[in-house]
A = this chain, B = another copy of it.
Amino acid sequence: MPQEKLNIGVVGLGTNGSMHFKQLQHMDSVHIVGVADPLIEKRKEELDFAGIDIITTDYQDLLNNEGINSIFFFTPSNQHLKNIKDAAKAHKNIFCEKPLSKDGSLRECKDVLKEVENARVKLQIGFNRRFDPQFKQIHDRVQAGEIGTPQIIKVVARDPFVIPYDFIQNSGGLIQDFTAHDFDMARYQAGSDIDSVFIQSSILIDPKLAEFNDVDTLTASVKFKNGALGLIDESRKAVYGYDQRVEVFGPKGMLKAENVSKSTVECYNDQNISLKKPLDYYLTRFEEAYLEEKNLFVDSVLNDKAVICTGEDALKAICCSNAALKSQETGQAVKVQY
């Protein structure tokens, strides 16, 4: 039985873009019509473009192509708003990596989302963690009422090592790089918007971060509009690997997702009982999530279903980050402005 395929264009083939591109090549539900990247010549050495019609440095070539239905953007964060605007104008459905915007004002973001709405195209933002099988399972079971309305939501996000300083400097700091994700996860699980945010943070790992006005250890205490409470903790360096956990507590029970290790082997010796460490980084831990987010986007386009992570969701993450930045600055709780 011939599988219907979505004709797509892929923009941005850096580290993450390459990973996404390879996954797209193995998806039976898509046909990659074209790829665009400013360094497309260099990409040819690393990637296999066999069977792809359009290979270009300018993504406008993809937008102009009538045969392309949807565009996947894996571009730098500061280009996202423009990317989305351009694609909406060309009436393409859009999958764009998070965040919605790095430096854009709330006004600009809202304007762009308005254009997407007017163009009547679909837009999905790649908050990959929502598509992690563990976290999605919790969300779906919570939604099904298994533990009642969530009362306490906890998110742990710890990186396995301090990323290079230049990445940190361009990341917008821990709050924009980590906490925005975690606010989204907390909202996703709570089923309610965040009302206020309180941040505590420290430099406990790498003193050099002070030069970038950044921190390496952070906790966030949030209150949701429905009264539920949330706790987030983050670290830039967990020596045991990539630590990503979620716990949701409600009147009928608790669901919690422990870290993922692909090994079930237990070793008993004269010292202790030991298991393998958790998966070591986001590319392995969230490999399935990265695939699933694209699969679900393709499904939502092909079958006209609602996307799971909308531009609105991405906008709310930015609102929460803004409040968090202000809390970090003032040392006090801050109400989120939407």
Determine if A46 is an interface residue (Cβ-Cβ < 8 Å): yes
Determine if A105 is an interface residue (Cβ-Cβ < 8 Å): no
Interchain CB contact under 8 A, B221 and A198: yes
* Residues of chain A whose beta carbon lies under 8 Å from any beta carbon of chain B: 1, 26, 28, 45-46, 48, 133-134, 137-138, 141, 146-147, 149, 151-152, 154, 158, 196, 198, 200-205, 217-223, 227-231, 233, 235, 237-241, 243, 249, 251-278, 331-333
Question: How close is A223's CB to chain B, nearest CB, in angstroms?
Answer: 5
Interchain CB contact under 8 A, B228 and A204: yes
Residues of B within 8 A of A46 (CB): 1
Residues of B within 8 A of A274 (CB): 271-275
User: For the complex, what is the distance from the CA of A251 to the CA of B160, rounded to whole Å?
Assistant: 11
Interchain CB contact under 8 A, A221 and B200: yes
Interchain CB contact under 8 A, B272 and A276: yes
User: For the complex, what is the distance from the CA of A261 to the CA of B264, rounded to whole Å?
Assistant: 9
A265 and B270 contact, Cβ closer than 8 Å, known pairs A198-B333, A231-B231, A233-B229 = no
A to B CB contacts below 8 Å, 9 in the list: A1-B46, A134-B264, A198-B200, A198-B221, A201-B229, A239-B269, A241-B268, A258-B266, A272-B276
Question: How close is A309's CB to chain B, nearest CB, in angstroms?
Answer: 20
Residues of B within 8 A of A227 (CB): 202-204, 217
Question: How close is A45's CB to chain B, nearest CB, in angstroms?
Answer: 7
Which residue in chain B gives the minimum CB-CB distance to A245? B264
**In-complex Cβ contact of A229 among B202, B205, B241, B272 (8 A):** B202
Interchain CB contact under 8 A, A240 and B253: yes
Which residue in chain B gives the minimum CB-CB distance to A221? B221
User: For the complex, what is the distance from the CA of A158 to the CA of B250, rounded to whole Å?
Assistant: 12
**In-complex Cβ contact of A255 among B222, B239, B241, B267 (8 A):** B267
Question: How close is A111's CB to chain B, nearest CB, in angstroms?
Answer: 33
Interchain CB contact under 8 A, B270 and A252: yes
Interchain CB contact under 8 A, A267 and B238: no
Question: How close is A256's CB to chain B, nearest CB, in angstroms?
Answer: 5
User: For the complex, what is the distance from the CA of A266 to the CA of B254, rounded to whole Å?
Assistant: 8
Residues of B within 8 A of A200 (CB): 196, 198, 221-223, 229, 333
Interchain CB contact under 8 A, B252 and A134: no
Residues of B within 8 A of A202 (CB): 151, 223, 227-229
**In-complex Cβ contact of A26 among B26, B147, B222, B333 (8 A):** B26
